[in-house]
Structure 1
Amino acid sequence: MPGMNLTRAEASTRAELLNVDSYEVSLDLTRGERVFTSKTTVRFTAAEGSSTFIDAVTDTVRSINLNGVELDPAEVSDGIRIQLPNLAAENVLTIDADALYMNTGEGLHRFVDPVDQEVYLYTQFEVADCRRMFAVFEQPDLKATFQFTVTAPKYWNVISNAPTPEPDEHGEAATWIFAPTQRISCYITALIAGPYQVARDSLVSSSGRTVELGVFARASMMEYLDVENIVTITRQGFEFYEKNFGTPYPFEKYDQLFVPEFNAGAMENAGAVTFLEEYVFRSRPTGAMVERRAITVLHELAHMWFGDLVTMKWWNDLWLNESFAEFMSTLAAAQNTEFTSAWTTFNTLEKNWAYRQDQLPSTHPIVAPINDLEDVEVNFDGITYAKGASVLRQLVAFVGQEEFMAGVREYFAKHAWSNTELPDLLSELEAASGRDLSDWGAQWLETAGVNTLKAEIDTDASGTITSFTIRQTAVDEYPTIRQHRLAVGFYSLDEAGTLKRVHREELDISGEATAVDSLAGLQRPDLVLLNDDDLTYAKIRLDELSLATATEHLKDFEDSLPRTLVWSAAWDSVRDAEAPASVYVQLLLNNIGHEVDSTVIMVLLRQLNTSLDNYVASEHSTDLSVQAADRLWQLANEAQAGSDAQLQLAKAFAHRSRTAEQLDLVQALFDGTQSLDGLAIDTDLRWSLVIALSAGGRLTDEQIDAVLKKDDTAKGKASWYTARASRPTRAAKDEAFEAATAATLSNDQQSAIIAGFNNVHDASLIADYTEKYFGLLIKSWETFSHEMAKQIVLGFYPSSQVSQQTLDQTEAFLGSLGEKHPALRRLLTESAADVRRALAARGADA
């Protein structure tokens, strides 16, 4: 949206002029479905005689009073910023305005539950959307206290950062006057309001203080909320973090709220964390989803210290915020919860994301230049989260975990309630570990790209190793050769046919070749695994003998992490067009039935879809796709009754069903004339079958509508949108394209329609939407909010049209774009890179 951007230079200038003391924000939420009253009083100091602006995205500004002087809204407000001339040394500013409810998952989001027609509100302010709710100096380094007064229907629950006070009732409404917060950044303030239901508990902090816990959901979802599990994970997180951080939990209470139509996984609002409602399981969840929820709970809890108590000065250190929380949540899960294989999950999910992101043309150093808010919006990426967390894991291996935590403890002690930059943390880690991190930081944080490691092994006639060298390479565009702290694992088959680790060597490597003399004289094992235990961030390639062992005995690893490292190496080889995708598909289908880690199964099935739809050569993709679906049905039948694997394989079969016989089986599961022992056709699985049948042309509109009547909920409506958009007709695709690019849908509805639009058995059905897509991009980008525009850009990009023509069309559009909209350019460049990679993979497969 024009005018919504803020540059780092503007923020820096404003921070030099101002110190903000406090905000008093009064909101009236009883004025209807479009707007609410937002009255803000800000107290701040400034350089006398200077001028600046305050951010306020408004519908109407009634009055602006600066130090007793009324300013004319027509002269100083443009609906996004309010200009503040001739500031005093001490300033009091009061702005009385109307602000707009949003339905995009940004600002103050308003949702009406179709089950009971009740209104539910929640805020989402990161990166810069609290200005949609109240007037604010919107940047993380202008910390202040925030005091909220909220008028709402008296039967609502109203939650913010401070504990909820007793309301003052007046007629059908009530007013809640919250106490001021501690000094925090504006983007972690929060308001959640509506007839949310709550389960309460408490814990005793390391300081001896009792911390009240609340777990909230909509009334129609509360029965499905696994409160006990969430509270257990929360307690384990508190225990782990307070011990390792050496700082008691910094806020007064800790509420966790599961809210509808949320754009992200969760948001670390201080003391009032909001979560994606997908984490409330109406139907039987996969183990992967339960573990993902636990990691997310731990991630957001880590932010209470790293991000909320101590906050980055500007968004260039966003990576450190997110990487730290991502690393710590996995460490806490592995060391203090039931999810002891969390590092396996991290490798298969997070690192695969990082490797993909780091090989796109838009890759960037972890410490990226962030010139403005548009840069931030597209930097919530695999570098910021997953590569950063991977590099922190490497840093911990480099300095030692206890030394790392000692540095973190000192960092929190010195910088509580303030803003910092990366050197503030690194200096504490250097002091605690005795390691000079200047070169480490230059290698890992200031350069882009991923290295590849491979072992060169010589043996004598008896199989004794005579030399062992680790070769490190980098691509020409990003040639940095890094220092790595890693482990080498030797694995051999025992008498029972199990691949067990028989030796482990941990060492530092650097340069293009590192001789590992300590391994000379040892018997060569059946498989050599570089980066055993996944300590560093690098792709690995197996030597010839190890690859042969892995191919035959992938299912026979004793532990999940080494097996997952081999899976990742195989997938990297396909993505890099070094190995045929068809061979990988067969490897996957031959071994996935032996996997027991739910997240690994989930990711492998995603990779199966990508391989069949994008990477397998077109001349045999149809036949292989049919074979894959048949094999998935066989595996679902062979899986343990009621198991997680059975559920995932059954859903995967339904999604990949193409032939009449396969769709007949899906229809029989839906009708109940066919069953799998232990597999209950619950609400969510039923919708998966409906969507598959719709894509196969097996259901009428009336039949799809009939399923909605049995599940007329928000989730049911979203699934209905997907099912309708999945119908294999031009009319259905036209309807979907028009609906998702209009401004009448919520973020969830738009996303659901786009998913259905792309759910096709034959990609040619949607091939000629490409021209229409490029024709509406500029208007969409300039008209929609960032989240909605981004869904259009990525969701309708013709990724399924794997051809040079798609690349040419993209390049032509980018050429016409000129220097405008760099964030849009990045999204399109990344999408085109995926098509380019798919073309190379198809060439390798052919």
Structure 2
Amino acid sequence: MQRSRQLVAQSSHIHLDLTTGSETFRTKATIAFRSVPGASSFIDAITARIHSITLNGKDLDPATHADEYRIQLPDLKSENLLEIDADFHYSSTGEGLHRFVDPVDNEVYLYTQFEVPDARRVFPTFEQPDLKQAFSFTVDAPAHWTVISNQPTPQPQPLPAEATPTEQGTQPQTDIARWVFPATPRISSYITALVAGPYKGTTDVYKAEDGRSVPLGVYSRASLAQYVDAQNLFETTKAGFRFFEEQFGTPYPFTKYDQIFVPDFNAGAMENAGCVTILEDYVFRSKVSGALRERRDITVLHELAHMWFGDLVTMRWWDDLWLNESFAEFMSHLCAVESGVSPHAWTTFAASEKTWAYAQDQLPTTHPITADMVDLDAVNANFDGITYAKGAAVLRQLVAWVGQEAFMEGVRAYLAENAWGNAELKDLLRHLEKASGRDLSEWSQQWLETCGVNTLKIDYDIDEDGYLADLTVTQSAPEAHPHLRKQHIKLAFYTLDAAHNLTRDVSLDVDIEGEKTVIEQAGRVPTPDLVLPNHADLGFAKIRLDSASLDTAIRHVSGLQEPLDRAVVWSSLWDATRDGELAATTFVDTVLTHLPAETDATLANLLVRQLEYALKHYVRPSKAETLRQRAGNVLWGAAQEAARGSDMQFQLVNAFARLANSDVQLGIIEDLRSGETSLSGLEIDQDLSWTLLISLATGGRIGEAEIDAEYAKDSSATGATSAQTAKAALPNPEAKQKAWEAMVKEQNLTNTMQRATLLGFNRCHDDHLLAPYAELYFENLAAMWDDASYEMSQRLVTGLYPYFAATPATLQATTQAIETLAADKPGLKRPLLEARDGLERIIAARKADEAAHRTKATH
């Protein structure tokens, strides 16, 4: 941030020539800024070649003024003009200006991704959020392309045909045009954007109550355009506009709002100002689960919320990254519920975001929500479950405490005061304190400046008349983070009826403080069958059920009528399983008992994923194969009984395909795919066909020839990644070695193909097949980290970690790597610490499962 004390960025004009070949493009940048006279500074740029640098009319030698990441700017004046002409590399990793060739029609598609430090891969810039400025983009590109940026797309100007030097030699250019975009408002470099290629789109208009019209657009690659359900996206977007404009008290701050589905994207979406880029997985060319549809709606609303909170008002430095992301996460779910886009979005929040947050906050690398971002490695690493999910959960807790209207009143004042500028957490808290009349310093210290998750448990007695007595909430904290916190929760008491439904008799609002909170207001409550701390999921804490409630939950969790209550119970059961307090086999049996009755799509999706993880990692090895086959049989039986064409039927079939391993189960997969077996209402569309084929490949029922034959039918980008996954999943040493070599030795895969290969490599029913790669992982660890970009190396180090070798030797090798390699590579330390923690949990959970089995056998 020191640079922002010396400089005031004014404007950048960026001229991009996208016609210079497939490896590099040319950028000419003219940057105006003020400075303390006589100061020296730098501008960020990762270039392929610098042609010239001119500062205030004086040429600077690139050889002496530029290095790999920066261009030095000496002897600055009060008013400065910097001109830089340079070539930059296209990216294949989703960082900077990403270049993708559509295998369907060989058309080229480009898009930018800049957060956190990657605008410098496309143009020279002051790469920090508090140096806002106006950006003007001029783009030369093929005339048949669509070019989209932060401002409305201008009419392209044809350029005269001329011979243009390219990497392939001098070639005639006859179809080039120039797009000259108007200047943006003052924004940060990381939310500027450029999307270019033969994208196809649909447009609409949002009409505000005050008469304003905001143009809307939805775009995708031409080969995907037929699958884009633009009307649904526009409806969700307009609902978000109405809700956010009302809640924030500020009109949408930009001139238009485009959403573009882009290939090979590393995240869910990115909040570029007025030009949001979205993962192509959210274009549904085949049937998908209700959970994925809801996830897309939440993502759309999340990015829209950022237009105010993040883009209009931006964090001063990355320390407050959490505030950007947590606020958008909280507001997207609130909007989904209150606008009717997704009435059960808080169940989704509990099942997805809070499950992520609880796991992240128990890792040895957990950090306070207000993390100290000391360098770019720290910023990149902290796009995590604390920054997004725990932060959003804590904001929800704050809203429950101060009240939603007071909270939004404070937010409105914060946005009004800081529009087009930068702000810090203290600025928001000041407005929230004024609006609510509460002192938030203690809340901030307890929730934002400390880490670790507390555990809540209810203790009670039954008096002689059969009523609850001595009702107490006990709060505990982990030894590493011994912080007890205040929070507001709801307690609920349930009775089991003859139909096995759990009916809520009483609920209480309770303020928790300290180790023991005695509940005085319970009144005369008959002995309940289930006592549920954190009913409505307002609190952020692990929940431990008392023994009677635990027994009721295991037998009757599906009898809870509200999906949010079921999510809270399932969260408690999963936490106990991860902690080795509940036997993994018990958790698996409980899921198999109740999953077929689950009606919430996201909760069902979560249970399936936790079922698969428990079977693969937590169940004792001697029982795992038998239980896996039983799980497959139960899932298939439930799929046959599920409602025709229902989401549950679809999810059960997909889960069965991932678990199928026995000859009988794989035979069912073959028959489903061929049509010899069918389920009423289930269509074997292209994507489900690939899912079934990958199952057969994993089980060794097909080979490369069958995979190639399917790819010949579906040569799309999705077909290519599915084929890659299927080949890497083949259960033979040659296939695993080929996948390993492609990822680790050759490292020439795109980010999407790397993900697909990782997925297939790890699809393995026999851990012995992967055994050689435990030692190879550690031998190649340094190269995996050093020889690729951050996104690619992070994915390799995390995705190839040998959880399949859950032994003390692997733990020892991990510890040694942390002590040696990570000492020189600080960014590598975090994924290794987290992997070791995951492996320790696996070993402990298996021991706990074995111990529970022995105890049961002796009774």
- Range into which the TM-score falls when normalised by the shorter chain: over 0.9
1:45 partner letter: R
Please tell me whether residue 601 in structure 1 is matched to residue 604 in structure 2.
Answer: yes
User: Secondary structure of the equivalent of 1:508?
Assistant: strand
User: Shift of residue 552 of structure 1?
Assistant: 2.1
The separation in 2 between residues aligned to 1:405 and 1:495, in whole angstroms, is: 45
User: Secondary structure of the equivalent of 2:480?
Assistant: coil
User: Shift of residue 770 of structure 1?
Assistant: 2.0
Please tell me whether residue 558 in structure 1 is matched to residue 547 in structure 2.
Answer: no
Deviations 1:238-271 (A, max 9, x none): 1111111111100000000000000000000000
- For residue 96 of structure 1, the aligned residue among 82, 85, 98 is 85
User: Shift of residue 159 of structure 1?
Assistant: 0.3
The answer to whether the 8 Å contact 2:774/2:805 transfers is no
Q: Determine the structure 1 residue equivalent to 2:171.
A: none
2:142 partner letter: P
Q: Determine the structure 2 residue equivalent to 1:165.
A: 154
Deviations 1:111-145 (A, max 9, x none): 00000110000000000100000000100000000
Q: Larger deviation: 198-207 or 265-274? A: 198-207
Q: Determine the structure 2 residue equivalent to 1:760.
A: 764
User: Shift of residue 495 of structure 1?
Assistant: 5.5
Q: Determine the structure 1 residue equivalent to 2:845.
A: 841
The separation in 2 between residues aligned to 1:252 and 1:283, in whole angstroms, is: 34
The answer to whether the 8 Å contact 1:391/1:537 transfers is yes
List aligned pairs for 1:211-222, cutoff 5 A: 211-222=214-225
Please tell me whether residue 481 in structure 1 is matched to residue 484 in structure 2.
Answer: yes
The answer to whether the 8 Å contact 2:239/2:341 transfers is no
User: Shift of residue 779 of structure 1?
Assistant: 2.2
User: Secondary structure of the equivalent of 1:540?
Assistant: strand
User: Shift of residue 339 of structure 1?
Assistant: 1.0
The answer to whether the 8 Å contact 1:467/1:519 transfers is no
Please tell me whether residue 470 in structure 1 is matched to residue 473 in structure 2.
Answer: yes
User: Secondary structure of the equivalent of 1:248?
Assistant: coil
The answer to whether the 8 Å contact 1:694/1:726 transfers is yes
The separation in 2 between residues aligned to 1:528 and 1:39, in whole angstroms, is: 66
List aligned pairs for 1:398-417, cutoff 5 A: 398-417=401-420
The separation in 2 between residues aligned to 1:576 and 1:288, in whole angstroms, is: 27
The separation in 1 between residues aligned to 2:784 and 2:434, in whole angstroms, is: 50
User: Secondary structure of the equivalent of 1:761?
Assistant: coil
The separation in 2 between residues aligned to 1:548 and 1:701, in whole angstroms, is: 49
List aligned pairs for 1:106-117, cutoff 5 A: 106-117=95-106
Q: Larger deviation: 25-34 or 780-789? A: 780-789
- Give 5+ residue unaligned stretches, structure 2: 160-173, 851-859
The separation in 2 between residues aligned to 1:16 and 1:565, in whole angstroms, is: 48
User: Secondary structure of the equivalent of 2:14?
Assistant: strand
Please tell me whether residue 126 in structure 1 is matched to residue 129 in structure 2.
Answer: no
The separation in 2 between residues aligned to 1:526 and 1:437, in whole angstroms, is: 38
Aligned residues: 835
The separation in 2 between residues aligned to 1:680 and 1:769, in whole angstroms, is: 38
- For residue 682 of structure 2, the aligned residue among 666, 679, 682 is 679
User: Secondary structure of the equivalent of 1:151?
Assistant: strand
The answer to whether the 8 Å contact 2:555/2:590 transfers is no
CA change 1:660–1:496 in 2 (3 A) is closer
- For residue 799 of structure 1, the aligned residue among 794, 797, 803 is 803
The answer to whether the 8 Å contact 1:60/1:79 transfers is no
CA change 1:648–1:180 in 2 (3 A) is same
User: Secondary structure of the equivalent of 1:518?
Assistant: coil
The separation in 2 between residues aligned to 1:82 and 1:792, in whole angstroms, is: 31
The separation in 2 between residues aligned to 1:368 and 1:405, in whole angstroms, is: 25
1:37 partner letter: R
CA change 1:833–1:411 in 2 (3 A) is same
The answer to whether the 8 Å contact 2:473/2:516 transfers is yes
The answer to whether the 8 Å contact 1:453/1:540 transfers is yes
Please tell me whether residue 453 in structure 1 is matched to residue 450 in structure 2.
Answer: no
Q: Determine the structure 1 residue equivalent to 2:163.
A: none
- For residue 386 of structure 1, the aligned residue among 385, 389, 405 is 389
The answer to whether the 8 Å contact 1:467/1:520 transfers is no
Please tell me whether residue 39 in structure 1 is matched to residue 28 in structure 2.
Answer: yes
Q: Determine the structure 2 residue equivalent to 1:635.
A: 638
The separation in 2 between residues aligned to 1:805 and 1:398, in whole angstroms, is: 48
- For residue 659 of structure 1, the aligned residue among 656, 659, 662 is 662
- Give 5+ residue unaligned stretches, structure 1: 1-11
The separation in 1 between residues aligned to 2:255 and 2:91, in whole angstroms, is: 29
2:842 partner letter: A
2:133 partner letter: A
Deviations 1:741-776 (A, max 9, x none): 223211000110011011100111111112222222
Q: Determine the structure 2 residue equivalent to 1:8.
A: none
Q: Determine the structure 2 residue equivalent to 1:337.
A: 340
User: Secondary structure of the equivalent of 1:221?
Assistant: helix
2:309 partner letter: F
- For residue 713 of structure 1, the aligned residue among 711, 716, 723 is 716
Q: Give me the TM-score of the superposition, normalised by structure 2.
A: 0.96
The separation in 2 between residues aligned to 1:134 and 1:773, in whole angstroms, is: 36
User: Secondary structure of the equivalent of 2:16?
Assistant: strand
Q: Give me the TM-score of the superposition, normalised by structure 1.
A: 0.98
Which portions of structure 1, spanning 4 or more consecutive aligned residues, are displaced by more than 6 angstroms? none
Please tell me whether residue 143 in structure 1 is matched to residue 147 in structure 2.
Answer: no
Q: Determine the structure 2 residue equivalent to 1:3.
A: none
Please tell me whether residue 421 in structure 1 is matched to residue 424 in structure 2.
Answer: yes
The separation in 1 between residues aligned to 2:228 and 2:183, in whole angstroms, is: 31
Deviations 1:757-800 (A, max 9, x none): 11100111111112222222222322211111111111111122
1:57 partner letter: I
Q: Determine the structure 1 residue equivalent to 2:190.
A: 187
Please tell me whether residue 259 in structure 1 is matched to residue 248 in structure 2.
Answer: no
The answer to whether the 8 Å contact 2:236/2:300 transfers is yes
The separation in 2 between residues aligned to 1:625 and 1:546, in whole angstroms, is: 28
List aligned pairs for 1:294-313, cutoff 5 A: 294-313=297-316
User: Secondary structure of the equivalent of 1:787?
Assistant: helix
User: Secondary structure of the equivalent of 1:235?
Assistant: helix
The answer to whether the 8 Å contact 2:703/2:730 transfers is no
The separation in 1 between residues aligned to 2:384 and 2:767, in whole angstroms, is: 28
- For residue 775 of structure 1, the aligned residue among 749, 770, 779 is 779
Q: Determine the structure 1 residue equivalent to 2:526.
A: 523
User: Shift of residue 496 of structure 1?
Assistant: 4.5
User: Secondary structure of the equivalent of 2:93?
Assistant: coil
1:748 partner letter: T
- For residue 145 of structure 2, the aligned residue among 156, 174, 179 is 156
Q: Determine the structure 1 residue equivalent to 2:168.
A: none
User: Shift of residue 563 of structure 1?
Assistant: 1.2
The separation in 2 between residues aligned to 1:697 and 1:783, in whole angstroms, is: 33
The answer to whether the 8 Å contact 1:489/1:529 transfers is yes
User: Secondary structure of the equivalent of 2:84?
Assistant: strand
The separation in 2 between residues aligned to 1:259 and 1:574, in whole angstroms, is: 38
What's the Cα RMSD here? 1.0
Q: Determine the structure 2 residue equivalent to 1:582.
A: 585
Q: Determine the structure 2 residue equivalent to 1:370.
A: 373
